[in-house]
C-alpha cells in the first residue's frame, strides 16, 4: 500500500520498503546560502524527483522556460528525475488557438541542451491543463492525448 506525505514544498511517496520523494523548488545548480531554496546536490541526498515548471511557479515567481531548462539540466546532472509541468491558459487554448504551440515550446525549451539518448535518468513530462484550474471546466484524457499528439 502506498502513502503520500507532504514535505515543505514537495511530496514523498512510500511504497512498501522503498521510498521516493520529490520537491517543487531548487536553486539553479548553485552552491551557497540561498535562504528558502535547496541545491540539487543536497536535494539528491533525500529525493528522487523534482517538479519543475509548475504553473504556480511560472505565474507567481515569474519562472521562465530558460530558468526551467537550467533547473532540468541541474537535476539531470545530480541524478534527479525532473517532472516537467507544461500547459496552457484558457486564452491561449480557446481565443488564440495556440495550445499545441505553447506546450510544444515549453517541452522543447525545457529540454534544450540535454541529450535524451545519453542521459541515463528518466524525464517525466506532466501536462498541467492550466485553463481548467478554477474555471469549472474539466480536462479529459482524450483532450490531453489529442494535444500531445499534435
79 is catalytic: no
54 is catalytic: yes
Q: Which cell numbers hold the place of 59?
A: 505565474
Give the active site residue among 5, 45, 128, 142: 128
Give the active site residue among 26, 31, 54, 56: 54
Coil, strand or helix: which one is 107?
A: helix
Cα 23 from Cα 9, distance rounded (Å): 6
Q: At what angle do helices 99-111 and 141-149 cross, to 10 degrees?
A: 70
Give backbone dihedrals phi and psi of 97, rounded to 5 degrees, phi first. Answer: 60, 35
- The residues carrying an active-site annotation are 54, 128
Amino acid at each position: 500500500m502506498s502513502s503520500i506525505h507532504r514535505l515543505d514544498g514537495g511530496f514523498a511517496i512510500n511504497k512498501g520498503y522503498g521510498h521516493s520523494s520529490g520537491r517543487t523548488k531548487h536553486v539553479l545548480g548553485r552552491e551557497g546560502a540561498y535562504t528558502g531554496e535547496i541545491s540539487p546536490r543536497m536535494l539528491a541526498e533525500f529525493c528522487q524527483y523534482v517538479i519543475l515548471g509548475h504553473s504556480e511557479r511560472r505565474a507567481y515567481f515569474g519562472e521562465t522556460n530558460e530558468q526551467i531548462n537550467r533547473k532540468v539540466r541541474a537535476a539531470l546532472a545530480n541524478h534527479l528525475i525532473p517532472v516537467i509541468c507544461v500547459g496552457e491558459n484558457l486564452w491561449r487554448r480557446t481565443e488564440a488557438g495556440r495550445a499545441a504551440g505553447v506546450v510544444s515550446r515549453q517541452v522543447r525549451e525545457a529540454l534544450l541542451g540535454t541529450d535524451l539518448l545519453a542521459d541515463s535518468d528518466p524525464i517525466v513530462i506532466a501536462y498541467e491543463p492550466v485553463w481548467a484550474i478554477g474555471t469549472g471546466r474539466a480536462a479529459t484524457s482524450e483532450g490531453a492525448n489529442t494535444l500531445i499528439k499534435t
